[in-house]
Structure 1
Amino acid sequence: MPNDPDTDYTFKLNTNNTMYDLCVVGAGLIGSAAARHASLQPNIRVCLIGPEEPKERRLESPREIFGAHYDEGRVTRCSDPDPVWATLAQNSINRYRELEATSGVTFYSETGCLMSGPPGGQFMTNTQETVTSQNIQHDYLTPELLRKRFPYLNLRDTDEAIFETKNAGYISPRGMIDAQKRVARDNGCDVINDVVCEISRNHDSGVRLMSVLTESGQKVEARRVLIATGSFTTFRKLLPPGREPDVTFCPLAVAKVEVSSEDVKRLGNMPSILYYGDGAPDWPEDYPRSPNRVIGIYVLPPIKYPDGKYYIKLGDFHDSVPQRLSSLEEVKAWYCTDGVTPLVTKSARLITALTKGIKPLSYHGDHCVITKTPTNRPYIDLVHPSLGVAIGGNGYAAKSSDEIGRIAAMLVLYGKWDSELPVEAFKLKLKDKPNSKL
């Protein structure tokens, strides 16, 4: 169901049947970025359609569409073992401050990103090769320097680290989307708070037009449409028959531990953290590990949330929850899962083990779903000349969303690939079907 119609971004279509050059479906991180970049183009009429964040998530609610961006913290950094993701991140991060200044919304905290693990391990070896080959500013920290620089972190005595000191830290997904929408709206983009249920291609006097129908009954006409609807892309009639993208829906859970103002001050220089290793000897033994007993986690420093409290967030990566989702009912149920589960409890215990001396005031969990592609890269492609997709974040897209949205908007508007990255890296792959071609 559509959200409260009285929200700030609600826009009711005029009765004059406005024709848009581009309609962006999906108002998350990628969709809002695409709408902003499209709105900056001269003589281009743009609309962005997507529901606002719900006030609550309940299984009993008629609401079915949710988003992974209902949060205040996502790790951002320039380095990545995959040069494609590294370039997307760098191009996006380079525009953060400009977007903040233009929108008046602060969403980026440059706290740095600490990547740690055992010396000689694959993670640290790959990280060192990445920051060196990509000329990323960093400090190498021996185990001794690591303990001296961040004395409150409880890591294994032999762990080393690479500290990405510039253009790294964390972003607020909520804040970034707000910034994108504000700038897009200031540039004439109509932002419509609704859920799209169907997209079709029609002909009017020999001209091909795209028709977008929303759950509230609004009909939007546009020359071109970009779909940026994440894990909900296949659960509405958005793509033509036989064009089902090859994606997997991975459920993820995180823990958020509330900390006192005293602990916030004591952890004042805490960066975002990525860790792959054995962990300290007193880390919870029952925390999920890979088959070779390695722990892989990301951690956000204390961040202030809308309830006025500060939380440290910890999450695992794609295999922390082995199940995969396949239906709208399963995806909705995961988003509406109660905040405390066994995995959340284990993650909260790991936060207290990792950050020495903190006194947790409370903890709870959160859940989201990421869209994983077989290429481990996003799909940015045309389904046909009037319809494009920008989906498949693989759990890495938040920091890179501005560049993903920009590339997608230019591709759908002009039919041209506007990136130094190879177009082949982003080709849409479909579910296996005989003679299935784009």
Structure 2
Amino acid sequence: MSANKATKLAVIGRGMIGSAAARHLSKMGHDVALIGPDEPADFSRHDGVFGSHYDEGRITRSYDPQPFWRQMNRAAISRYGEIAAESGVAFYREVGALYVGDSETTNVASVGKICAEDGILCEAYHDAGLAERFPFLRSTAGVQGYFQPRNAGYISPRRLVRAQTIAAERAGARIIDEPALGISESSAGVTIRTRSGSVEAERVLVAAGGHTQSLLGRSLGVTVYGRTVAMFRLGAAETQRLNGMPSMLCLGPKGDNPYILPPIAYPDGQIWLKLGGDPVDLPLESEADIKNWFRSGGSIEVADRLQTQILERIRDLHFEERRVVPCMTSFGDTGLPCIGPLSERVVVAFGCYGKSAKCSDELGRLGGMALLGEAKAELALMATSLP
């Protein structure tokens, strides 16, 4: 779509939350433009927007310690099938999610307690029982595990964005494959600048993740952090050995609480095991900081630490190559996302705490409702933490 065109509603940010908002708004019959670039082909030479959805594995599950996020998770997961049907793009694998922690030093028992109270199907395993059920684990002595077999596993963020974009376009949304360079608001509407021209809109939802505050030119009390994940390439024999492995969340103190994705096929045709849980808080205070971080390739020191952790948890792991990957996340003070109006015509939806991939469809829906001025009756009102 040409940028020089007026629209009723615009969504800035073609990531997981923005594309979801565009789908929901378009299905409701609204005139919507979804603005954002495709995934960069080469990070080292990329000059545009960077995102954190350029991978094939994010853990999804109903459970979360906080009721707000549990409700977001359930609502979004219940629509995975709908999104796949509307787009023709599969993005979810229900392999289950395993939570493990030392029985004495972690509060792993709270997982089972919350799941029982909230009606989340969860199987409990301990010591030898855990080893028998999940033989790939290196050590289970003194370890308690809780396994959620349904409505849990992993999603492909890049495939989810593709699915949401296709479904939004099929519902009538217009896709502008360009980054937004700036926005200006007047009594008549909002002007969004892109490289090829301007988009005029009556109202705008900014769902640009870590780029949101710099695009708006103001702080909303959210800090963007650079993060490093480590990827381990597996051969055919190791892939077969770990077949059936669920997504894993390891409970422990910061720096010793990694999350582990099972073997997943990536666009390069290889099978990779992904490990995250970077304990280093590296603030990215500007667009220049974000670009420099993604171009840096991430932290080798953090990757070394993550490698040690996965070798301590996966028995006899053999990998053929390690890859270090940078990403970013955003944190505020409330533990809840920022969803709500900044002005009469500009609304935001961002602030993920590393939790939004699995529930992005619901966060996008709530952002869309806020754009329509209908968020007061929504749970999102709890999450509005804008200064």
The TM-score range, normalised by the shorter chain, is: over 0.9
In the alignment, is the contact (CA less than 8 A) between 2:58 and 2:157 conserved in 1? Answer: yes
Q: Could you list the runs of 5+ residues in structure 2 that have no partner in the other structure?
A: none
Pair 1:371–1:422, CA change in 2 (3 A): closer
2:267 aligns with 306
1:371 paired to 2:361: no
Aligned amino acid, residue 53 of structure 1: E
Match of 2:219 in 1: 244
Q: Secondary structure at the match of 2:257?
A: strand
RMSD across aligned positions (CA): 1.7
The aligned counterpart of 2:242 is 267
Contact 2:83 2:163 in 1 (8 A): yes
Once the two structures are TM-superposed, the CA of residue 97 in structure 1 deviates from its matched residue by: 1.3
Aligned to 1:324: 283
Tell me the alpha carbon deviations over residues 12-36 of structure 1, each in whole angstroms, 9 at most, x when there is no partner.
24xxx64322100011000000000
Q: Deviations over 1:87-135 (max 9, x none)?
A: 0011000101121122111100000000010125543132122211211
CA contact 2:249–2:260 (8 Å) conserved in 1 = yes
2:192 corresponds to = 212
Q: How far has the Cα of 1:350 moved from its partner?
A: 2.8
**Residue of structure 1 equivalent to 2:2:** 12
Aligned mate of 2:42, from 56, 70, 73: 56
Give the drift of 1:323.
2.9
- Aligned letter for 1:404? L
Q: Tell me what 2:153 maps to.
A: 169
**Compared with structure 1, are the counterparts of its residues 371 and 322 closer, same or farther at alpha carbon in structure 2 (3 Å cutoff)?**
closer
Shift of 1:340: 6.4
- Mapping of 1:335-414 within 5 angstroms? 335-338=294-297, 341-414=300-373
2:358 partner SS: coil
Q: 1:266 deviation in Å?
A: 1.3
Question: Contact (CA 8 Å) 1:39, 1:189: kept in 2 or not?
Answer: yes
Map of 2:386 onto structure 1: 429
Q: CA deviation at 1:187?
A: 1.0
Q: How far apart in 2 are the matches of 1:422 and 1:322?
A: 27
DSSP-derived class of the 2:70 partner: helix
User: Contact 1:253 / 1:367 at 8 angstroms: preserved in 2?
Assistant: yes
Q: Deviations over 1:243-282 (max 9, x none)?
A: 52001112111110001122111111100000014xxxxx
**Over residues 143-163 of structure 1, what are the superposed CA-to-partner deviations in whole Å (9 max), with x where a residue is unaligned?**
121100111111341101000
So what's the TM-score if we normalise by structure 2?
A: 0.95
Instruction: Decide whether aligned partners of structure 1 residues 72 and 418 sit closer, same or farther in structure 2, where only a CA change above 3 A counts.
Output: farther
**Partner AA of 2:205 in structure 1:** L
Distance 1:155 1:105 in 2: 38
Report the Cα distance in structure 2 between the residues aligned to 1:182 and 1:62, rounded to whole angstroms. 24
- For the 8 Å contact 2:128–2:140, the answer to whether it is kept is no
SS at match of 1:342: helix
Aligned residues: 387
What corresponds to 1:96 in structure 2? Answer: 80
**Retained in 1: the 8 A contact 2:336–2:385?**
no
Contact (CA 8 Å) 1:352, 1:360: kept in 2 or not?
Answer: no
Runs of 5+ consecutive residues of structure 1 not aligned to the other structure: 1-10, 278-288, 431-438
- TM-score normalized by the length of structure 1: 0.85
How far off is 1:202 after superposition? 2.3
1:258–1:361 Cα contact (<8 Å) kept: yes
Give the helix-richer structure, 1 or 2: 2
Separation (CA, whole Å) in 2 of partners of 1:64 and 1:123: 42
Q: In structure 1, what is the Cα distance between the partners aligned to 2:213 and 2:341?
A: 16
Which position in structure 2 is the counterpart of 1:186?
170
- CA-CA distance at 1:188 after TM superposition: 1.1
Query: Does residue 26 of structure 1 match 2:13?
Result: yes
Alignment of 1:122-161 (within 5 A): 122-161=106-145
Mark the structure with the bigger radius of gyration.
1
Paired residue type of 2:209: G
Alignment match, 2:24: 37
How much does 1:74 deviate?
Answer: 0.3
Q: Secondary structure at the match of 1:311?
A: strand
Identity among equivalent pairs (%): 34
Whole-angstrom distance in 1 between the partners of 2:315 and 2:173: 48
Contact kept, 8 Å, 1:389 with 1:408, in 2: the verdict is: yes
Name the CA distance, whole Å, in 1 between partners of 2:52 and 2:140.
32
Give structure 1 regions of 4+ aligned residues with deviation exceeding 6 angstroms.
none
User: Aligned letter for 1:306?
Assistant: P
1:347 Cα deviation after fit: 1.5
Q: Single out whichever of 327-336 and 295-304 deviates more from structure 2.
A: 327-336
Give the partner amino acid of 1:367.
P
CA drift at 1:217: 3.6
2:210 paired with 1:231: yes
Moved more, 126-135 or 84-93: 126-135
